């Protein structure tokens, strides 16, 4: 059974469509938005490496559909142990978003559970939204019928933002908070810190709080001290 979280925790504010910088992924974003907002829209399968924004789009779709009064469920398979039981536990919602689909590859019970869920969703008129680190044809599935079903979805491969796009997003988010991030700060940060946009935005949240508490601007010395102190905790 999947624990029910308060709405704000289930759909974090930052993981909304308006906070997703599409870049080369505009067609994928439009397809996911359509699936969230319009019953009968084609089911979508998102492939792509970590940091490409798959989970962001799944959560954004759930939030958008929920805001329209549609019932939704989000299943982060990569964070669950009993995949088969978790998949069998979701049903009856108008939108079902299954993240980290690669986690069930080779798990016979989970694959059969997903096959059954797929067929049940079709019969009930529900919508399915999938995400995995590879496209469906590259999943090491042992159930050919499931591979065929997933292949019938509309597929998109998400491309991570390049460094210039990530810098633009960070500067824009910082400016919205009244923070000026100099190029020297970004140069230092990008040469020493993870370039995953989610991790960078998490760091920006923490830097904002720390700089307010210390009444200091975010400079290279401040950033260096902050990361050193964080590593020592």
pLDDT digits (tens, 9 = 90+) for 128-179: 999 999 999 999 999 999 999 999 999 999 998 888 888 988 898 899 888 8
DSSP 154-169: EEEE-----HHHHHHH
Is pTM beyond 0.75? Reply is yes
8 Å CB contact between 106 and 139: no
pLDDT tens string 176-221: 888 888 899 999 988 887 767 778 888 898 999 999 999 899 999 9
Give the single-character DSSP code of 19.
G
pLDDT tens string 73-117: 999 999 998 999 999 998 789 999 999 999 999 999 999 999 999
Give the whole-angstrom CA distance, residue 66 versus residue 37: 9
pLDDT for the residue numbered 9: 39
What do you get for the CA distance between the two ends of the chain, in Å?
35
Give the whole-angstrom CA distance, residue 3 versus residue 219: 41
CB atoms < 10 A from the CB of 169, how many? 19
Radius of gyration of the CA atoms of the chain, in A: 20
- Name the 3-class secondary structure at 92: coil
Which structure tokens are listed for 58?
């799944």
- Name the 3-class secondary structure at 172: helix
């Amino acid at each position: 059974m999947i624990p029910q979280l308060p709405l704000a925790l289930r759909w974090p504010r930052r993981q909304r469509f308006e906070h997703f910088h599409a870049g080369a992924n505009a067609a994928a974003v439009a397809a996911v938005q359509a699936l969230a907002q319009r019953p009968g829209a084609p089911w979508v399968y998102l492939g792509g490496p970590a940091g490409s924004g798959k989970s962001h789009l799944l959560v954004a779709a759930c939030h958008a559909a929920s805001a329209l009064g549609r019932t939704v469920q989000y299943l982060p398979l990569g964070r669950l142990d009993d995949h088969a039981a978790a998949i069998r536990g979701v049903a009856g919602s108008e939108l079902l978003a299954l993240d980290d689909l690669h986690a069930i590859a080779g798990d016979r019970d989970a694959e059969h559970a997903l096959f059954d869920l797929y067929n049940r969703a079709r019969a009930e008129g529900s919508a399915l939204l999938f995400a995995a680190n590879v496209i469906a044809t590259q999943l090491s599935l042992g159930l050919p019928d499931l591979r065929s079903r997933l292949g019938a979805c509309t597929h998109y491969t998400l491309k991570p933002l390049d460094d210039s796009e990530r810098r633009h997003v960070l500067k824009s988010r910082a400016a919205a908070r009244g923070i000026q991030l100099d190029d020297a700060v970004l140069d230092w940060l990008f040469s020493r810190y993870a370039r995953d946009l989610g991790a960078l935005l998490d760091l920006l949240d923490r830097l904002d709080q720390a700089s307010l508490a210390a009444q200091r601007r975010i400079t290279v010395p401040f950033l260096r001290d902050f990361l050193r102190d964080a590593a020592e905790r």
